């Protein structure tokens, strides 16, 4: 049974007709039309030496279930309930976010030499992985019903991968239907997965004996194209597993993989927004004046930028129809809400974080009316790095040199603030390779070299935008106004931030901020001017500068990376 009900299929056809990129964006897309009919799905060079049951032959197999039938399955299984706007609400149980300390990659074969091993990419023995994989398969075979989703990761048919997800829960199947690229009937006829994900409620009791940190294990075998999701029902583990796989494979083929959102304007000007969770990546890409390519995961090849997904997975905390109208409107029938608190009448309280601050909503791309149905556009004109600086010392916008762009890509800085119930107000700096280190299996240099080639070849401008605090650190200053940030992004996309209107590099970070910008207070553009206590600013700026420097020490053994360090905070390459 295919995923698209007649109602859904009709709506998708109408949306595609209404927003046709070759009609609305004209000649800007002519150069990439070759993607449409050229199917070159690459198969992993892998030898499967583990038995994988034929789940499609399972007597209770539910295969690519359509949305209406899925809704009935979720409700009949007691996995969710319908709340306002006819939306499905589920509870992910103990885990309301990813488990990065329980994330592993099989240390075997090509992966042994390719993966950047460390405290993020943790090794797991192949024999241990096989035991867990077999455990999942046996449990799934024992169930009365099993859900099998088949689709694709990657909108470019030249490099996309086929993914099969076998799950115990119907709502996980629904999530995959939202988030992966849905196949046609013809594409399902000879479907062969490049990545197989098994996700059940199986318990791995031997975790201590096998040297794991806990019973929770999210492990990826990049050599054989397999993933296990164990002891967690947080759905994001499935999509991030597929993303991690692409972040391993694509760069080895010369394709840049990115944790970013992407949009394209009516003139065909593509923009990319890198950023960790909470920096505004999804919010700023939900722009009614532009077309949405995707909100989280993309590739950049010789033709341009393409989405890896078929849907969006947005944070729901403080969702406001006035500030985020497109996302708010997307939460309707066929969307899934995770861990959102509702009242007795099923009305959502997006401000209530008593369960978690990481409330989420997944929905198919067509819920965004200005989405790009084909999921790809030309090469970017602008790249924007988003940082939520809770120390309040970074400028709201800075134009970066090529070397600075590479430094800040690898650094991937943002800051997190602990919950007030803990009594902690001190910001915590987070440095994450390529603004997505938790799903970047290769060493940082691999991504930096590819990014350098891309921005140089296509003459791309790169900016660092602070969506965090101004006038003081968290607890003293205030959060950047979303309207000011939107004005900054608009100025970037219009090309009105010119080199001649930039301040000299500041002494702490070597960043060049504009002297003036429409829609943004001049005092805010220079962060030191926005602080009443200048001495306190200098102390705080020095503190963040030193954290940047300390983080970079792990890269400085490589001459290429060491040179980049001189263009970052604490360096002097631009201080003349």
Question: Looking at 303-443, which runs of residues are DSSP E strands?
Answer: 305-307, 311-315, 336-338, 341-342, 348-349, 360-364, 376-377, 380-387, 397-400, 413-416, 428-431
**Of 259, 231, 211, 230, whose CA–CA distance to 107 is shortest?**
211
Given 4, 58, 281, 545, the catalytic residue: 281
Alpha helix segments (H runs only) across 95-184: 109-114, 126-142, 170-179
How many degrees, rounded to 5, is the angle at CA 132 between CA 128 and CA 138?
Answer: 145
Classify residue 439 as exposed, middle or buried by CB count within 10 Å of its CB (0-12, 13-18, 19+). Answer: buried
Tokens 């010392």 correspond to what residue?
393
Separation of alpha carbons 264 and 301, rounded Å: 16
Our answer to whether residue 221 is catalytic in this structure is: no
Our answer to whether residue 481 is catalytic in this structure is: no
Given 263, 277, 411, 432, the catalytic residue: 277
Q: Which residues pair with 198 in a beta bridge?
A: 166, 228
DSSP string for residues in 207-244: TTTTT-SSS-EEEEETTTTEEEEES---THHHHHHHHH
Given 240, 367, 508, 545, the catalytic residue: 240
Given 282, 359, 432, 467, the catalytic residue: 282
Our answer to whether residue 277 is catalytic in this structure is: yes
- Stated as kind and residue range, the H or E segment containing 197 is strand 195-200
Our answer to whether residue 240 is catalytic in this structure is: yes
Given 102, 194, 269, 296, the catalytic residue: 296
Our answer to whether residue 281 is catalytic in this structure is: yes
Our answer to whether residue 259 is catalytic in this structure is: yes
Given 58, 98, 136, 371, the catalytic residue: 98
User: For the stretch 329-338, what's the b/e string if a residue is b when 16 or more beta carbons lie within 10 angstroms of its beta carbon?
Assistant: ebbebbbbbb
What is the DSSP pairing of strand 413-416 with strand 428-431? antiparallel
User: For the stretch 27-41, what's the b/e string if a residue is b when 16 or more beta carbons lie within 10 angstroms of its beta carbon?
Assistant: ebbeebeebeeeeeb
What is the DSSP pairing of strand 348-349 with strand 291-294? unpaired
Separation of alpha carbons 575 and 557, rounded Å: 24
Our answer to whether residue 131 is catalytic in this structure is: no
Our answer to whether residue 360 is catalytic in this structure is: yes
Separation of alpha carbons 532 and 234, rounded Å: 44
Contact criterion met (CB below 8 Å) for 209 and 217: no
Given 158, 360, 399, 545, the catalytic residue: 360
435: left (phi over 0), alpha (psi -120 to 50) or beta: left
Given 58, 259, 399, 508, the catalytic residue: 259
> Is the torsion defined by CA of 10, 13, 16, 18 positive or negative?
negative
End-to-end CA distance of the chain: 66
Alpha helix segments (H runs only) across 254-397: 281-285, 325-330
Active site residues: 98, 240, 259, 277, 281-282, 296, 360
């Amino acid at each position: 049974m295919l995923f698209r009900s007649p109602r859904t299929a009709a709506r998708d056809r109408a949306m595609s007709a209404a927003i046709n990129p070759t009609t609305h964006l004209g000649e800007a897309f002519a150069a990439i039309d070759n993607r449409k009919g050229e199917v070159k799905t690459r198969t992993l060079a892998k030898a499967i030496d583990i038995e994988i049951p034929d789940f499609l032959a399972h007597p209770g197999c539910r295969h690519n279930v359509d949305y209406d039938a899925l809704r009935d399955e979720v409700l009949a299984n007691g996995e969710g309930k319908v709340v306002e706007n006819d939306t499905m609400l589920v509870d992910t149980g103990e885990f309301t976010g990813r488990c990065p300390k329980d994330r592993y990659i099989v240390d075997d074969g090509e992966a042994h030499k390719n993966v950047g091993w460390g405290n993020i990419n943790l090794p797991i023995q192949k024999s241990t992985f096989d035991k867990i994989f077999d455990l999942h398969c046996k449990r799934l075979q024992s169930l009365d019903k099993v859900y099998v989703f088949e689709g694709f990761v990657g909108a470019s048919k030249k490099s996309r991968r086929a993914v099969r997800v076998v799950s115990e829960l119907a709502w996980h199947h629904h999530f995959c239907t939202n988030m992966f690229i849905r196949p046609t009937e013809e594409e399902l006829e000879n479907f062969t997965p490049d990545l197989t994900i098994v996700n059940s409620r199986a318990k791995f009791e031997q975790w201590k004996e096998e040297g794991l940190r806990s019973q929770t294990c999210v492990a990826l075998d990049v050599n054989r194209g397999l993933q296990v999701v164990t002891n967690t029902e947080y759905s994001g583990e499935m999509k991030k597993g597929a993303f991690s796989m692409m972040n391993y494979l694509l760069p080895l083929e010369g394709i840049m993989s990115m944790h970013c959102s992407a949009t394209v304007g009516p003139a065909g000007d593509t923009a990319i927004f890198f950023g960790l969770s909470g920096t505004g990546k999804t919010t700023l890409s939900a722009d009614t004046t532009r077309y949405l390519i995707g909100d989280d995961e993309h590739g950049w090849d010789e033709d341009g930028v393409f989405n890896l997904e078929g849907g969006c997975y947005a944070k729901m905390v403080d969702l406001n129809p006035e500030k985020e109208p497109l996302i708010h409107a997307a939460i309707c029938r066929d969307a899934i809400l995770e861990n959102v608190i509702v009242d007795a009448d099923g009305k959502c309280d997006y401000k209530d974080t008593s369960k978690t601050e990481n409330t989420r909503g997944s929905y198919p791309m067509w819920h965004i009316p200005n989405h790009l149905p084909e999921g790809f556009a030309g090469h970017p004109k602008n790249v924007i790095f988003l940082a939520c600086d809770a120390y309040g010392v970074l400028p709201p916008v800075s134009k970066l040199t090529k070397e600075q762009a590479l430094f800040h890509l690898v650094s991937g800085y943002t800051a997190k603030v602990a919950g007030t119930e803990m009594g902690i107000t001190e910001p915590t700096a987070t440095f994450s390779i390529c603004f997505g280190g938790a799903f970047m299996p290769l060493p940082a240099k691999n991504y930096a070299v590819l990014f350098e080639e891309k921005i140089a070849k296509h003459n791309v401008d790169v900016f660092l935008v602070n969506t965090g605090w101004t006038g003081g650190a968290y607890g003293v200053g205030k959060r950047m106004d979303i309207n000011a940030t939107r004005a900054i992004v608009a100025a970037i996309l219009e090309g009105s931030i010119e080199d001649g209107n930039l301040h000299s590099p500041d002494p702490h970070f070597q960043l060049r901020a504009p002297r003036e910008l429409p829609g943004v207070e001049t005092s805010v553009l220079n962060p030191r001017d926005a602080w009443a206590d200048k001495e306190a600013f200098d102390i705080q700026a020095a503190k963040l500068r030193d954290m940047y420097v300390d983080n970079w020490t792990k890269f400085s053994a490589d001459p290429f990376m060491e040179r980049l360090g001189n263009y970052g905070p604490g360096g002097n390459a631009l201080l003349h």
